[in-house]
Amino acid sequence: DFLFFWGAVFLVTTTLVAFLKKENKELIPAKEETKGITDTYRLLFSIIKMPAVLTFCLLILTSKVGFSAADAVTGLKLVEEGVPKEHLALLAVPMVPLQIILPLVISKYTAGPQPLNTFYKAMPFRLLLGLEFAFLVWWAPKVKHEGGFPVYYYAVVVLSYALHQVTLYSMYVAIMAFNAKVSDPLIGGTYMTLLNTVSNLGGNWPSTVALWLVDPLTVKECAGAQGHSCGTVAATEV
C-alpha cells in the first residue's frame, strides 16, 4: 500500500510537470562542452592533478572517518540491545519534515563566498553527537524493562537523531554548495560529478570499514564458560 500510494503520487506529479511546466525560451543557456569518453577521462585526470583539487579530495575522503562508527553502527547496536526495529523505523518519520526544511534553511548560510565555513563549524558538533550515540547504546540496557523501553528514552533518541540531522545536512549542503561554486561552467557536469563522487566515496568507505571492525573490536564474555573469551566467531559458536 505504501509503495502503491507513493508510486501514484510520483506518476501524477511528474505527469503534471511534463504537461504544465513550460521552458523559458528567451534565456539561452551557455552551451557546455561535449566530449567523448576518452577525452572526458583525460579531463578528469587533469582536474584531479590540480594541487587545490587534490588537497580538497584528500580532505573530503578523510573528513568523515570520525563519524563512521556512529552513523553506521548505532542503529544496529540499538537493535542488538533490544530496541524493536519497527520502533526505530517509526522514529525516522519525524525526521522527514526536518530533512525537507534543513536544506532550505542551511542554504542561506552556504550561499556566500565561503560555503565551507558551515562544514567546518558543524564538524565538532557532529563528533560530539557520536559520543551521544555511544551513550544511547550504553544506556539502553539500563532503562529496559519487561514492557520494552520508557517513552523518555525514545524522546532522547529522537532528539539526538534530530540534532544529528542538523549537523549532517549542514555539512552535506555546504560541500554541495562549494562543489557547485568551484566547478568550471564549461565542464560543469564533469567537474561536479567528479567532486560529488569523491564526496560520496568519502562517506561510504569509512562506514564500510566501521562495520567490518565491529566484530573484532566488540568485547564479549562467555556466560557459564570460565576461561574462554568469545572474541572469535568459532569461540562464540562453541
Please say if the pLDDT value at position 17 is more than 90.
yes
* Three cell numbers written together for 19: 504537461
Q: Which residue has the higher pLDDT, 115 or 187?
A: 115
Residue 226 lies in a domain: no
Residue pair 188/32 in contact (Cβ under 8 Å)? The answer is: yes
* Three cell numbers written together for 194: 567528479
Residue 217 lies in a domain: no
Domain that holds residue 148: 49-204
Q: Which residue has the higher pLDDT, 225 or 93?
A: 93
Residue 55 lies in a domain: yes
Please say if the pLDDT value at position 29 is more than 70.
no
Instruction: Output the pLDDT for position 162.
Output: 93
Percent of the chain with pLDDT over 70: 92
If you compute the radius of gyration of the chain from its CA atoms, what whole number of angstroms results? 23
pTM: 0.76
Q: How many CB atoms lie within 10 A of CB 174?
A: 23
Surface-to-core class of residue 45, CB atoms within 10 Å of its CB (0-12 exposed, 13-18 middle, 19+ buried): exposed
Residue the block writes with cell 569518453: 37
Instruction: Output the pLDDT for position 30.
Output: 58
**Mean pLDDT along residues 77-83:** 90
- Which of 36-45, 68-77, 110-119 is predicted least confidently? 36-45
**Domains identified in the chain, total number:** 1
Instruction: Output the pLDDT for position 15.
Output: 96
